[in-house]
Structure formats: structure tokens, C-alpha cells
A and B are shown apart, each in its own frame.
Chain A
Amino acid sequence: MNLDPKLPRGPLADKWLEHRNHLRLVNPSNKRKFTVLVVGSGLAGAAAAASLGELGYQVECFCFQDTPRRAHSIAAQGGINAAKNYHNDGDSVFRLFYDTIKGGDFRSREANVYRLAELSLRIIDQCVAQGVPFAREYGGLLDNRSFGGAQVSRTFYARGQTGQQLLLGAYQALCRQIAAGTVRMFPRTEMLDLVVDDDGSGPRARGIIARDLVTGRLERHAGHAVVLATGGYSNVYYLSTNAKGSNATAIWRAHRRGALFANPCFTQIHPTCIPASGDYQSKLTLMSESLRNDGRIWVPKDPGDTRPPESIPEADRDYYLEVRYPAFGNLVPRDVAARNAKQVVDSGRGVGPQRNGVYLDFADAILRRGSAVIEDRYGNLFEMYEKITGENPWVTPMRIYPAPHYTMGGLWVDYNLMSNVSGLFVAGEANFSDHGANRLGASALMQGLADGYFILPATLANFLADHLGEKLSPAGPSFDGVEAEVRQRLGSLLALRGQRSPESFHRQLGHLVWHACGISRTAAGLEQATSEIAALRREFWQNLRVSGAPAEVNQDLEKAGRVADYFELAELMCRDALDRDESAGSHLREEHQTPDGEALRNDEEYAFVSAWEWQGEDRPPVRHAEPLHFESVELSRRSYK
């Protein structure tokens, strides 16, 4: 297996420019002769489709929602990083690069991360020109804030709706191209498989099989290149902060057709979400991390203490983060906060009706700073909390608990964002490229837009230049074969006629993955979960019940296909977590921690990207490794004591 990341030579700061200087170009009059399929219309997909359309390529863009404006990028709250140094506080491209690679616990490529930091500057320019209403200062210039523990103010934001505004910017650019006729949009259309053929020179992506979610018809789309920008796979856990429709099917089907899956076990759990309130719970809601700036986290000292929080005296409270981490207190990084919450809840001291949360208490902050300040800072969050829980955080402490939020793992890509399958590109959260073992706050939006606006338009041309004159046809044995398989699979899901719904299997699977491959992992737990997942998967394929018919709107069938893929992905996540016998960033193996409970990396043996190759349903996948080389940074250990 050739795992060449195609990293450019030369000094770190010159790599991207040097690389672009030598990428091949496509003549303007030839661009319209190429068709590019873009699957997904979030930040990465919409930005890529719009930019490629502007350049003159024929683009077909797909999304499962009713319009491209709904993609889950829209829910990002915090902001987007850029090394503009507008605050004159010492920020630079190198510093953003360094913070990102260190935050990822040194499990990402230097060249990729540096390019991301470099492009952050142009992203802000582009978005402002599109009319994205970023927050401004009274002088009319752009405002920045410090976010996620960064020591500089480099985060651009639009109130708590940065993702929404950036997505609408990209969506509007996309609409402009749809009107211009360069992009054909296929809403309510879900990619169900990738068409790959091999003429002896290796696998090559030829197109996709998609299902029209209104009529149920299967459609074939052929392209000179296929871009997957289909987001992450946090919904494998069932309860996550992702949208209900977010799913892994596109990347998983591509994986089964030969694309390597990288670092599947690197998944981020966000510490401040509202705990689940019952069995009917369908998703979890994130509360901004900024709450930890003023709120104090605690649980009762005594597991049997059932008094309401207001009546528990100071002496009986355990402010466990302040005790364990006196220097950082409640502001320890996301993974540390999440792990500690799990420990106290597992020890039986969880709070709330389900005993599945910890208190986040503003009583001290209200006394110290006054209600007006707290209202100004967190008023909207308090309101949102009250809307969902029916409890008033001004009177009784909030309850929070960690929830799956983002997946750093994804399909393996080289520096050009092309997977090992020729012509298959992967962008945004769907690829594994830039965040290593842990993603820093306000960098997901940055990566999606860097991939879509600036990287793909350059690297796709380089690929396409070699394929001028290649005829496209959705007919032929490769398309016939894949379409037949898709049809058969849908048919077998509908034919099972068992007792349990896709939703109930998903819920049970999520529970297994959450406990074995969530906040912390052990070899024994992962091994046990792997066999339990396999057993549940067998039951799924015997006892599933899907209602409705194939040729109509059938949300149960959509769900069933996604859950079927989650089973296989969940197994791979556990396998990867077991294989990576170290702790790194979000991946905490309990066997590998410092006496203080910090992640203990093993750089000698595990400074690599794991890239898994599918071998078929009955054979275990093969793990390849892309070694990571660090030339510009020294590998250091995090400490928050």
C-alpha cells in the first residue's frame, strides 16, 4: 500500500507556495469539459462547489437536506480562528500552527497544519467580502476574542452563530453559481455508494450512486473527480451534538470501496453539554465552553446526598477540578474536564434526576460580579438552558455532562486532499487531515473553508489536468455492479421484517460505543465491546424492522442504511483504539496515563497516522501506518497543574 502523503519539500513556511508553483493547471477553455461531483454542502462542500463553479468546471452538488443551507456547519457557535494579529498581541501564522499541532497532541502533519494557519488569513478576507456580519468594534473594524484557552485573541465571531453566518456566506456563493448554471444542485439526495474501477493502474473513482429521497429512485452520477465533504461521524454514539441526519455512510461506503480510514478512534467529547433527561432523548445540546470562565464545577462529596444543590453547604461540596488542578481550575482543556466529569459520575456522585451530570454553579460569580455582568455574558445561554431543562440557572446550578461533538478521524488524504483512491478527494471533517488527536476550539470552521475555498480548487486542477478528453459515462459494468449492490442492500433491509426499529438498534449501539470508546478506553473494555457490537450487528441483520416502501419518502429506510454502516464503523473505532496502545489527546487509554491522570503519549512507537484498509465483511481490516515527522516543533507534554 502506497501511503505517500506527497508533502512538499523546503522550509515549512514556503511549502504551500512552492507546491502551488508546481501544480498543473487546466486551461480556462477546458475547465467546462470536466465534471466534479461534490457530496455535502456544508462549509467544505459549499465552498468547494461554489469555487469550482466560478472557475468554470461543471459541478454537481448533493445534500440530503431540503436545501444546502441546512448543513450542520450551521450549528457551530464559537468562532473561527485566523492569525491576523489585529490585536497586536503577538499572534502569527507560526503561533496558530504551533497551538493547533500541540493541541492535536502531535498526531498531525506539520505541513498540513501550517498551510491551514496560513490560509486562515484569506478565509476572513473572503468571508467579509461576501457580507458575513462578523462582530465589530466601535471603530468599525473586526472584533476578536480569545477562545478555548488561547493566549491571543484570534477568534472572529458572529455572536453565538458564527457557523450559521459562514455557512450562509458559502451557500450564497453556491446559489450564485447555481443561477449561473455552473453548479447543478441535488437536494434531498443521499449518496449511497461510490463507483470505483481499476484498469490495472489502481483504483479510480468514477462517480456515485445516490438515492432521491422523495421518489426513492436510484440515480447514477459520473464525474472526473468526486469530492466527499460529508462531515464527521459523532452520531455513531447515538447521542451527540450532531444533527440527526449527519451520518457516516458516504465515507464508510468509500472506505469499503478501497479508501483508507485514518485514526477512527480520535473523537472529541465536549465537556459542557446538557445531560440526557430520559430514554426518549434524541440528541444532546452543546452549551458554550465560555460558561466555564465564571461557573464553578462541583458534585456532592457524599454519593448518597440527595439534597437540592442550594441546600448543600460548602463543606459538603467537592469542587473537584479546582482541587485537582489548582493552576487551571475549571478552565482545564476539554478532554481533561470531560474525563474528570466521567470519573465523578462513575463513582456514583452524579447529580440530577438521572444522576448523570455535574453542577456548573454561578452563585459565586453572581455575587462577585453582579447579575448585570453575568446577564451580559451568559444571558442567552441561561435562557437556552432554561428552555431545554425547565430549570432556572439563576436560582439552581446548571447540570452539565460531556457529549460527542467532533471526529478528528476520517478518510485518509494526502497533502492534495486526495485519498488513496485516485480521483476521490475528501474535505472538511470527513477527512482526517489537520487536527491530530484533538481539535482546538474555533478551528473546524477554519479547516472546512480552507479545504473548500483554497486547497481543492488548486489541487483538483492538478489532478484533472491529466485526464483531459476522458469520456464520462454512467453506463457500463462498474456502475451496473454498484447500483445492483445498492438496490439489493435496500431490498434486504426492507425484507427483514423483524421486531426492532433502526432507532432502537442505534440507541443500543451508541450506548456500547460511548462506554467503551468514549471519554476513556481500556483494552478489556474495547475487546468486550468489539464482540458485543458484532453480536448486535448480527441481530440487526436478522431482527430489523423497516416500515414503509422503497419508492417514496422513507425516513426509516434512510435511517436503517446509516445504522448498518455505524455498526461496521464502530467496530473499526474500537479496533483502532485497541491498536493505539498509548494515550494521545482525546484518546485516553487508562493503561497509559501519568500519576495525575494525564494522557501519556508514546512517541517512539505511535507517532504515526493509522490508516485502515477494508478487507471484506468476514476479514479483519489491515492497519497501515504513515509515520509523522516533526522538523519545526519539539514534541512536548501538556500539563495543567
Chain B
Amino acid sequence: MTHPGLAACAAVLALGLAGCGTDPPARDPNLAPAVRGAPNIVLVVVDGMRGDRAHFMGNPRQTTPNLDALAAQGVVFERAFSQSNESVTSHAAIFTGRYPSEVALPDYFTYVVPPEALLIPEALRAVGYATGGFVAGGHVKAEYGFDQGFDVYEHGQDFGSFHSTGPLALRWLEGLDRQRPFFVFLHGYDCHRPYAKGSLFLHPFTPGEHPTVPGIEDFEAEHALRSFSESIYDGVYYRGFQHLRAEHASGEWVLDPWSYPSMPQLAAAQAQAGLCEALPLGEQAIHHLTAHYDASVLVADTYLGLFVERLQQLGLWEDTLLIVTADHGEDLGDHGYYNHRSGIYDSTTHVPLLLAGGALPAAWRGTRRTELADALDLFPTIMDVAGSVAPTGARGRSLWAELAGSQVAPKPFSLQQGVLGQTSLRTAEYRLVFSGRLLADPAYARFLAEEPIDSGAFALFHTALDPLEQVDVLLDQPEQAQQLRQAAVQLVSGLEQGTSAQTPSPESIRAMRDQGYW
């Protein structure tokens, strides 16, 4: 299939409009001039890495020594957001530059990036890039449509670490002829639940600490269970808690999206009925859990450090732009949960966004930016770096152009779509959240527009003053809420509705349910 957007990329290349430096002599002379001079691009997505847990984003713990060093010589976007709070929908936005609900039917169970979507690697391959994707399986597998446009798309260990995907990428890079620039997508689940890690990473921030919790014989072993973190509500671990399921249109029984807002009450009710055990964790165990999450950030950082070191050894670093970001964060008890899909807050959608590498112009190095940025900006940015343009239909704007001083309209807000139906509008100061309807509902925009602002479906946080978004100020500032709601309605009403869907195979359903999905 030929995408209309690709014609635009090719047209710009034919004119040789964009310049990203001088032509590397080894490049294929048949490439368009702009691409001959374009750098390699490595996009790293650290699955589940919450922005404020990186040391260079304010975590007092030394979680990111390698990324800190890159940040010191790179560009950090301090207010960067993912478009969703779950991997599949968030990656869809990253790779298409479109809102998750535009790419496919926004249904958690059937979500798939369709063939007609145009992804970053497709656009880059069309202009001459070699493209390789190296992912830790899970919800970013080829079967969800993410392999489109990649020359190679390899799965490492399912739900695995950069420890398994880094070497796959390096092996591919070592075999390239370097006649063309390359694009690498590197992905790892290091920061994902369970946060318990092996090897050297179990207790870097709580050395020798072994929390004791009445009723739990071995906290670490229990913690390593897949269901552990999603069975903690308001500081109580509900051992044996069963998530509610509802019948999906496909006939499958899937996690009931309506049950999520009241999960703490459901868990308590199950415990009261003797269906599960309620085990209060206590302050030390809670502290320990967060320390484990931070350890997982250190794990990711360690392997990314080794990866960058190898790029340097291979002589690739000086001609490469590295982009490090995440697809979502993790609520670490900030709102009573230890997961990311229950709500849209900064905890679950504020992500790191770091540009580094030898291809970064010297004048930009060591800078920190405070304007809003989000996942939709990655497609235009990457195509700009590649000396091309983003295709028609990709939203967002080029951060590269912004860094270069071009007059780019600032982003007044970032619209985010939760996998369980939440919509949120994040401005520099506030966050408005709307929940209680499924995004796939054809009348969603009408509900968003007409639902009384004080019905309980909306919440407003003054994030600039309340960074952890603990206090709903909607009743104190209803006009602010109304204003943001209007902006959300205007945007959502103009979105195309994605319709693509797939029924996962029985094997996929089994594998994903083993990991706590669906």
C-alpha cells in the first residue's frame, strides 16, 4: 500500500530542502541529498518509566547515572507526556503521531495498529533509512501492528529487559553496511511490574532491608508475583483479589473497565466476604516497593549505558541522535494504586524525554526545556531530523525545529486518552480528567460536552501547585474546569474515529492474561 503522506516526504527530499550537516562520504550516492547528510536515529522507549523517578528529573536517588550524563550533554524536555497510560495505545501514538482513538477502535482488548496507518519506520524507510525494531514482546509485538516499516523487527524475551533487546539491536547494527542512515527502535520492560529484579538490582536503594509484613512469609517472593502490585489498594495488599470481569462484544470475559474507579472498595468488600486476604503493608514495605521501582529504573539505565557505550565503540555515536522516552509512568500509591492504567495523572503519563548523541548540535547541548511536549511530537521531530517532513495526518510539531529557533506554535495542552476510557487535558498549570465513559462509545464527545461539570465524572488538579495531583479543586475552580472542558470538547469532536480491531488469538489471550492484561 502506498501512503499519501509518503509522497510529501519524497517531494521534500527531491528538493533537498532540509540539511542536517555534511554528507558522510560512505553514504549511498543514490540517496536524496538530505538523507545522505541525515544522522542515524535511535528511539529508546523505556516501558513504564515514570518521569520524576529519573535522577535528572528530580529523584533524589541516583537512579539514572548514565542518562544523567547524557542529559548533561543533551536536551531534556521537562514537561513531556505520553498520549496514553498503557503500552499499546501509547506506542500507537508515538509511531503514528495520532491520538490512540484515531489509530484504531479504542478498545483495550481488540486494539491493533492497522496496515493503513503510517508509522515512523515506514516514512523513514521510504526516504532511505535502514530500519530495525528490537522489542521486549508484550504489547508491542508485531501482532499488534508495530512491525510495519521495519526491515527487521525482533522480539527479545517476552516482557523482558534491555538486557535481551540491546544485544539484538547491536548485532543488527554490526551487520549494516552503513551506506544508509539507520533508525533503531529499542524497547525494554525493565521498569514494568513486578518491580522485583534479580542479579545486582534487588536492593540498591534499600541495602540489607527486608520488610516484614504480618501474614507474608517472604515479602520479596510475594512481591515478585505478577498480580502483587495490582492487588494493592490504599496501602493494603489483597492477597487473592480477583478483578471483576465483564463480557466483551467478542464473547470473551475481559477486565471490567467500570470496576477500576472503585477497585479499593471492591477489594475491601472481597476481603470482608472472605474471598481474599487483606494484609496492610505498613510504611516500611511501601517505602521498599517504591525503592524497588527505582531499582528497576537503575536497571534500565545500566543497560542503556552499556548500549550507548557499544554505539561509541562501533563508531556510530557521533553520527547518531538518541531519543529516550517512555510510553507511560506508574502510579506508586500516589492515588491508592500501584499500576498505570487506573488513572491519568502525571504519575502515569509524565515521562522522560531526552535528546542526546553526536548528531545533536553543540549549541543545544546541556539545555532544559519547559514547554509542553508529548508523544505526538516524535513523528514530526524524527522526520525533521531525517531531512524530511511528517506525513499528512500526523499531529504534533517538530521539537527539532523548535530547538533550531523556528517559529513553532507552542502546545497549549496535551490531550491524553486512557485505555479504560479516561480523557485528560494537561496544560502547563492544570490537569482536567474526565472518566466514566468508554472512548469507543460513539456518543463520547457528546457526553464530554454535556455531562454536568460537577457530576463527579470530572476532576481538576492544579498541578503547578500540587505536583502529585492529590487535591481535586474542581468545586473551587469550576470556571477553570469549564474552560479546559471546552478545549477538550473542541479537540475530541474533530478527531477521526479509528475502527480497526482484532480478536487476539487464544495464545495471545493466555500470554497476556498471565501478565495481568485483559
A and B bind: no
Interface residue ranges, A against B (CB under 8 Å): none
